[in-house]
Amino acid sequence: MPRHRTPLARPVTGPWLFGGPRRAPAPPGARPAAVLFDRDGTLVRDVPYNGDPARVEPMPGAREAVDAVRARGVPVGVVSNQSGVARGLLTRHQVEAVRLRVEQLLGPFDVWAVCPHGPDDGCGCRKPAPGLVAAACARLGVPVEATVVIGDIGADVASARAAGARGVLVPTPVTLPEEIEAAGVTARDLLTAVRLVLDPEPGIVPWAGPAAAAAGAVPYGAEGARAACRTRETGEGAGGPGPSGGGTR
Ligand SMILES: [Mg+2]
């Protein structure tokens, strides 16, 4: 008697992971072990629930910024909430098509971790939860505490913190003032953010954990880096608070 299989339902636990086999992690040092980028509003323009590859448009300087990380031999990845899947607005095929278009425009990423759940699904991967960051680091075989997450809203930075990684905020007009206030480390654009994490000035401890703080270190604290950053003290830099775009928060 033939067995009938029940169709698989949409997964309710765990992120979708795309990417090749692990490779050797970068040697220890000032460089991060990996840099993970948010997708919408960070690497590409935020088109809410976009499933159309033709609508993928890189953010200014995105290719240059990601290439700068690759040039150092540091793995790059993407961590992206795609609640449009849970809302019935996106299919996995569309998410994959957009992913491939992003790679056409920005080059290959070593890992993608995508959360297909909605805010009420109770998953552990939707940012600001740590699951995407943790899963991406596990796939890359790199320590999460030596990994940097770069994103445009507070949930990106919060997910980095929750996972034990470092977050850098690159504000856009949809970034809320309180998110900028809470971020700690912000940069005016993606290339500045990448330079900040790749080239901390000599003598500056790039990762200001408790031990570094005890030693008097300042995170990314060189004056040159400060000048390049939008900080809560100065409020300088491109972009700024504005009305929410209602995108993929
Ligand atoms: Mg974003």
Residues that are catalytic: 38, 40
Confidence of residue 79 (pLDDT cuts 50, 70, 90): very high
**Predicted local distance difference test score (pLDDT) of residue 24:** 56
Residue 215 within any structural domain of the chain: yes
CATH of the domain at 134: 3.40.50.1000
Q: How many domains does the chain have?
A: 1
Task: Report if residue 243 sits inside a domain.
Answer: no
- Quick check: is 1 in a domain? no
Residue 164 domain-assigned (yes or no): yes
Q: How far is the CA of 20 from the centre of ligand 1 (A)?
A: 24
What band does 220 get if pLDDT is binned at 50, 70 and 90?
Answer: very low
- Which two three-digit tokens encode residue 43? 């690497």
Ligand 1 centroid distance, CA of 175 (Å)? 9
pLDDT band at 221 (very low <50, low <70, confident <90, very high): very low
Q: Find the range with the poorest average confidence among 133-137, 155-159, 204-208.
A: 204-208
221: left (phi over 0), alpha (psi -120 to 50) or beta: alpha
Is residue 230 within 8 Å of residue 237, measured between CB atoms? yes
Determine the pLDDT at residue 19: 81
**2 part of a folded domain:** no
Q: Return the amino acid letter for 35.
A: V
Is residue 161 in a domain?
yes
Q: Tokens 């899947």 identify what position? A: 85
Determine the distance from the C-alpha atom of residue 155 to the mean position of all C-alpha atoms in its chain, rounded to a whole number.
Answer: 10
Q: Which residues pair with 113 in a beta bridge?
A: 17, 79
pLDDT at 21 over 90: no
Q: Give the domain range for residue 100.
A: 16-228
Ligand 1 centroid, distance to 126 Cα (angstroms)? 12
Separation of CA 173 and ligand 1 centre (Å) = 11
- Compute, in angstroms, the gap from residue 43 CA to the centroid of ligand 1: 8
Q: Does residue 235 fall inside a structural domain?
A: no
**Is residue 105 included in any domain, yes or no?**
yes
pLDDT score recorded for residue 225: 37
Assess whether pLDDT exceeds 90 at residue 8. Answer: no
Residue 28: is its pLDDT beyond 70? no
Is residue 54's pLDDT more than 50?
A: yes
Angle formed by the axes of helices 62-71 and 92-106, to 10°?
A: 80
Element (H or E) spanning 80, and its range? strand 76-81
Note the pLDDT of residue 55. 98
pLDDT tens-digit readout, 184-204: 889 999 999 999 999 865 544
- The pLDDT confidence band at residue 1, using thresholds 50, 70 and 90, is very low
